[in-house]
Amino acid sequence: MASHNELGRKGESAAALFLEKNGYTIRHRDWRSGKRDLDIVAEKDGELVIVEVKTRKDTEFGNPEDAVSPQKIRHIIESTDEYLKKFELDLPVRFDIISVTGTDSPFKIEHIENAFLPPIW
């Protein structure tokens, strides 16, 4: 496995642990809808929380969260719609980003709640 993929997996695991320690229930990790995925689907206080995790070894080329492009947001929204339909959920939805920086634990973790809203098409 490529080293960046391994780092991404470590970052996602650290993000899931962070969420659990902060009272979130993890519903799914790497939930797939076709070729797209949702990194973490969590729930807290009756709200479905879709979390995009971005991991980088450092911030030399910008913060990890800067890699969430408008196209990526569109894919997340489409996948979330599929998730809600598949599991027949009627919950409010929030979109967060967890930025993970470092090469190994302990990582620097920043949780950005309400990082974006669904665009109006």
Q: Where are the domains of the chain?
A: 3-112
Eight-class DSSP state of 9: H
Where do the DSSP E strands lie in the chain? 25-33, 36-44, 47-56, 93-101, 108-112
Structure tokens at 60: 């030399």
pLDDT of residue 92: 95
Round to whole Å and give the CA distance between 94 and 116. 8
pLDDT of residue 118: 81
The pTM of this model reads 0.92
**pLDDT tens per residue across all 121 residues of the chain:** 566 688 889 999 999 999 999 999 999 999 998 888 999 999 999 999 999 999 999 888 888 898 899 999 999 999 999 999 999 999 999 999 999 999 888 899 999 999 998 866 5
Structure tokens at 54: 């971005």
CATH number at 3-112:
3.40.1350.10
Residue with tokens 């689907």: 41
